[in-house]
């Protein structure tokens, strides 16, 4: 990163971060408004190098007794084996059952044989690539239904890069002609986080301004940008940031400084998806200072 880039990033991070943005509060025991009612999501912004993220996923999935299904379909190959599917990374953590599950044919994704490993799984992991390929293979199929049932029975769904974006309700970078088009020919994700758009590689690839376009066009959405080697771990309507870098929040009901349209949550920080409030973490429940209530300029 250049000196100029570091200076820009430091200035933007200086105000860290959030004040309460909504009077809406979730009642104790109420159904989550945004996140999953059961189970956990582990959503990674790509280039997952921090072993703690993988270890957290395995722990949530049942440790050595976890039954993990790895879906490599976003990668674009016609066929995958264990070497190309990336199951070895999970075997290294002594997970006894790891299954590579792939198809490019929605009809196959409807068969009893194909969905059986998902029905037995405690966790599903979506690899990176192009997120529209996951949609083309699984949207509307029995396999998609079974993915959701993993969450419903208290399991874990995770993914990195494309496997992160697919977990939002709005599919950014879903155009088949290229990944620089934010609102393309595929716009519907799997919606494990309702009313959200999830982007990845945001700082490493200088994408931090890209989600603004999406939220201006769809102000009902919450934009979540996750940098590389960084994850959010979602339970109900709250997530925790872990890893090496930052998560960016794009909320058209709040601004930062002189009209800024996103803000940062550091590792250890927490965010309430329903109230759109962030804090410094479990040990420090104070709100992170910076953004203030108010609509984006020129937006809704």
Q: What is the CATH number of the domain that holds 206?
A: 3.40.50.880
CA 142/CA 138 separation, integer angstroms: 8
CA 294/CA 290 separation, integer angstroms: 13
In a domain, 260, yes or no: yes
Question: Is 53 a domain residue?
Answer: yes
Q: Residue 130 falls within a domain, yes or no?
A: yes
Residue ranges for the chain with pLDDT beneath 70: 1-29, 283, 288-289, 291, 298-300
In a domain, 204, yes or no: yes
Q: Give me the pLDDT at residue 280, please.
A: 78
Count of domains observed in the chain: 1
Compute how many other C-beta atoms are within 10 angstroms of the C-beta atom of residue 286.
8
What's the pLDDT score for residue 293?
A: 85
- Whole-angstrom Cα Rg for the chain: 19
How far is the C-alpha of 53 from the C-alpha of 43, rounded, in Å? 10
**Within-domain flag for 21:** no
For residues 166 and 138, the answer to whether their CB atoms sit within 8 Å is no
C-alpha to C-alpha distance for 226 and 45, rounded to whole angstroms = 5
Q: Which of 199, 286, 182, 279 is nearest to 239 (CA)?
A: 279
pLDDT of 3 reads 33
Q: What is the pLDDT of residue 21?
A: 34
Both tokens of residue 166? 């697919």
Determine the pLDDT at residue 27: 52
pLDDT of amino acid 288: 62
pLDDT of residue 28: 52
Its domain, for residue 198, covers: 32-293
Report pTM: 0.89
Per-residue pLDDT at 277: 93
The DSSP symbol for 273 reads T
- Tens-place pLDDT, residues 229-252: 999 999 999 999 999 999 999 999
192 to each of 36, 147, 187, 248, 289, how far by Cα in Å? 6, 10, 15, 19, 29
* Chain segment 128-160, per-residue pLDDT in tens: 999 999 999 999 999 999 999 999 999 999 999
Pairwise CA distance, residues 46 & 160, whole Å: 5
């Amino acid at each position: 990163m250049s000196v100029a880039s570091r200076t820009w990033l430091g200035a933007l991070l200086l105000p860290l971060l959030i004040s309460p943005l909504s009077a809406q509060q979730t009642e104790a025991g109420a159904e989550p408004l945004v996140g999953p009612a059961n189970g956990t999501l582990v959503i990674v912004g790509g280039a997952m190098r921090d072993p703690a993220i993988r270890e957290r996923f395995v722990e949530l999935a049942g440790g050595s007794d976890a039954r993990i299904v790895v879906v490599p379909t976003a990668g674009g190959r016609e066929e995958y084996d264990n070497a190309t599917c990336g199951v070895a990374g999970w075997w290294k953590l002594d997970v006894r059952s790891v299954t590579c599950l792939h198809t490019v044919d929605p009809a196959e994704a409807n068969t009893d044989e194909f969905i059986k490993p998902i029905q037995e799984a405690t966790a599903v992991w979506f690899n990176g690539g192009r997120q529209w390929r996951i949609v083309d293979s699984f949207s509307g199929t029995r396999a998609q239904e079974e993915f959701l049932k993993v969450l419903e029975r208290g399991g874990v769904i995770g993914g990195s890069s494309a496997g992160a974006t697919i977990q939002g309700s709005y599919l950014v970078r879903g155009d088949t002609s290229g990944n620089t088009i934010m609102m393309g020919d595929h716009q519907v994700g799997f919606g494990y986080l309702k009313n959200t758009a999830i982007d990845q590689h945001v700082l490493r690839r200088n994408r931090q301004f890209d989600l603004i376009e999406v939220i201006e066009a769809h102000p009902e959405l919450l934009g979540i940008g996750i940098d590389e080697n960084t994850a959010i771990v979602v339970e109900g309507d709250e997530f925790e940031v872990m890893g090496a870098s930052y998560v960016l929040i794009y909320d058209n009901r709040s601004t930062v400084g002189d009209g800024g349209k996103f803000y940062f949550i550091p590792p250890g920080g927490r965010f309430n998806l329903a109230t759109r409030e962030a804090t410094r973490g479990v040990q420090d429940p104070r709100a992170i200072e910076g953004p203030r209530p108010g609509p984006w300029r020129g937006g809704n």
